[in-house]
Amino acid sequence: MAKEQSLDNLWLAQILFDLGGVQFGNFTVSESAVSSPVFVNPKVLISNPTALRVASKLMQQEINLAQSLRRPRVHPFSVIAGVPVGGLLLATAYSLETNIPLIYARSRPKGLANVE
């Protein structure tokens, strides 16, 4: 139990860094014009099941805290949506941790080719 208690957000940040999931530079966030000096790639967590489990537990703790406030910042929900690709793996881990159903958000209907 003492080992599991030590698996916190600082531990997860170190693992993400060690796995190469934290990069510094000038990055454009998603398809927006917003830039960031830090890029965090959650996809590297699939190579470390313990880190992925810790990430899902930390998400659950944060959501529980946000929902317990007098004026909740996160309202109750009954389904989780995962956005491909990195968000989908985190949503899947969270769904498995909490037993909340998951839906897969597609950017376009299945089978529809890129049309330009």
38: in domain: yes
90: in domain: yes
What range defines the domain where residue 75 resides?
2-104
Q: Which residue has the higher pLDDT, 106 or 55?
A: 55
The model carries a pTM of: 0.76
CB 99 within 8 A of CB 93: no
Hey, is 116 helix, strand or coil? coil
pLDDT, tens digit, for every residue of 41-84?
999 999 999 999 999 999 999 999 999 988 888 888 999 998 87
CB 107 within 8 A of CB 84: yes
CB 32 within 8 A of CB 56: no
CATH number at residue 42: 3.40.50.2020
Structural domain count of the chain: 1
Give residue 1's pLDDT band: very low, low, confident or very high (50, 70, 90). very low
The dihedral of CA 114, 28, 32, 47: what is its sign?
positive
115: in domain: no
